[in-house]
Amino acid sequence: MKVAIIGTGYVGLVTGTCLAESGNDVTCVDNNPNKVALLHGGGIPIYEPGLAELVARNARRAARVHDRPGRRGPGRAARVHRRRHPQSDAGDADLTAVFAVADAIGAALRDAPPGPPGARVVVTKSTVPVGTNAQVAERLAAAGAPHVDVASNPEFLKEGAAIEDFMRPDRVVVGTRRPEVSEVLRELYAPFLRTERPFLVMSPESAEMTKYAANAMLATKISFINEMANLCDRLGADINDVRKGIGHDQRIGFPFLFPGPGYGGSCFPKDVEAIIAMGRRTALPLKLMQAVDAVNDAQKQVLFTKIQQHFGAALAGRTLALWGLAFKPRTDDIREAPALALIDALLGAGVRVRVHDPEAMANVRALYGDTLYYADRPYGALEGADALVVVTEWPEFRNPDFEVMKRLLTGRVVFDGRNVYEPRPMEALGFTYYGIGRGGRK
């Protein structure tokens, strides 16, 4: 099939590359000329395991990446300013870019002759509020392209595992009322659904809602376990035992029940806010979602509170080492990362901060400049520090040389924001150890 992908962010670049890998003729378009130049030169704009190799292979074979699909083409008209957090102040999703692209596609197809149903399908993969696909269809018609079908096809990939998630999805969700359109998408996804994973066809509204409901449920699990962990801390219970104790109940299960310093990233914070906004607009206050959001905001302060309680009035002037800055491992993405809230609080309290992250340092440097010390290696961050804070659970932090750590870390205090170490062995090694919900009454 011939596929044009508008936008080469996480979803666009992964989708385009995987569709090229399965034999389609893919053209990726982006309104950022630097990104396009980078892609032409064989680079990719994000860190995502396996993606660079796959882009390189398919850029030679099938995919073409260019920024000028035609005088009135979407790449040209879609030159709109994208905000870092595509959300209005009230939490509503900012659809400026989506509508700009819809208008541009409509204009580009104005003179195209009508084809049979399903001949030209505009697929929305962005997470958009319920009703947006209907608005996209209206805009296409208003722009003079009434013979174009619109389908919702939410993407569920996770950063750090994006290719695996695309190639082996748990399910594919397609929102359309026209069987011809769902058949086009069924054919496109067939190579990825060999393992009997379901291809679910529903209305565009239900498909749009499915994406929000999935992210809302996952965010709820995280805020739930974080609240339980905080209670464990106060009552002397160990959340890790409790997690196992509940996870073996198949109705509950294990995934997404790891406590930590709060969820971050480009999806959960934005989508929880957006679903709250959808409720507000329909006069239905979503109390659970508001609580999930509030618990997460508070959780981003949990590490700082533990640090403050440990050092007391002597916190100002201390030096702290941070391991992990990305919002999760295997990405360089720092959007809404808990590490940023912690850095802000530490700097505000007069603490010197030394940081290390395997991939996200350049992004953090762009925000903080020389206010932080950037260590090329994990141990470099520890030198002369009063304490270590593990903020992101990169695999390389799981089994450090504890003797080296003890030598470098003046204070021998570890705040483990991801529970990667065990309290008792850490204490036996001579560290003062704080986990999240590990029952320390600390």
CA-nearest of 191, 200, 167 to 14 is 167
Residue 267 annotated in active site? yes
- Residue 192 Cβ vs ligand UDX, minimum distance, rounded to whole Å: 15
- Residue 315 Cβ vs ligand UDX, minimum distance, rounded to whole Å: 25
Which segments are annotated as binding site for NAD(+)? 30, 35, 127, 159, 270, 335
Residue 78 phi/psi, 5-degree rounding, is: -85, 15
Between 265 and 439, name the residue whose CB sits nearer to ligand UDX.
265
Compute the distance between CA of residue 361 and CA of residue 373 in angstroms, rounded to an integer.
10
Tokens of 170: 């748990």
Between 218 and 246, name the residue whose CB sits nearer to ligand UDX.
218
- Residue 61 Cβ vs ligand UDX, minimum distance, rounded to whole Å: 27
Task: Give all strands (DSSP E) within 96-209, no chain letters.
Answer: 121-124, 149-152, 172-175, 199-202
Tokens of 142: 């208003």
Residues contributing to the site for ligand UDX (CB under 6 A): 155-159, 215, 218, 222, 256-258, 260, 263-265, 267-268, 327-328
Compute the distance between CA of residue 156 and CA of residue 126 in angstroms, rounded to an integer.
10
Which segments are annotated as binding site? 30, 35, 127, 156-159, 211, 256-260, 264, 270, 328, 335
- Residue 325 Cβ vs ligand UDX, minimum distance, rounded to whole Å: 12
Residues contacting 138, CB < 8 A, separation 6+:
none
Between 336 and 386, name the residue whose CB sits nearer to ligand UDX.
336
Between 328 and 354, name the residue whose CB sits nearer to ligand UDX.
328
Between 165 and 205, name the residue whose CB sits nearer to ligand UDX.
165
| Alpha helix positions (H), 10-125 | 10-21, 33-40, 51-61, 74-77, 96-108
- Residue 260 Cβ vs ligand UDX, minimum distance, rounded to whole Å: 4
Compute the distance between CA of residue 277 and CA of residue 275 in angstroms, rounded to an integer.
5
- On whether the CB atoms of residues 275 and 269 are closer than 8 A, the answer is no
Residue 185 corresponds to which amino acid? L
Which residue's CB comes closest to ligand UDX?
267
Compute the distance between CA of residue 281 and CA of residue 294 in angstroms, rounded to an integer.
20
The catalytic residue positions are 267
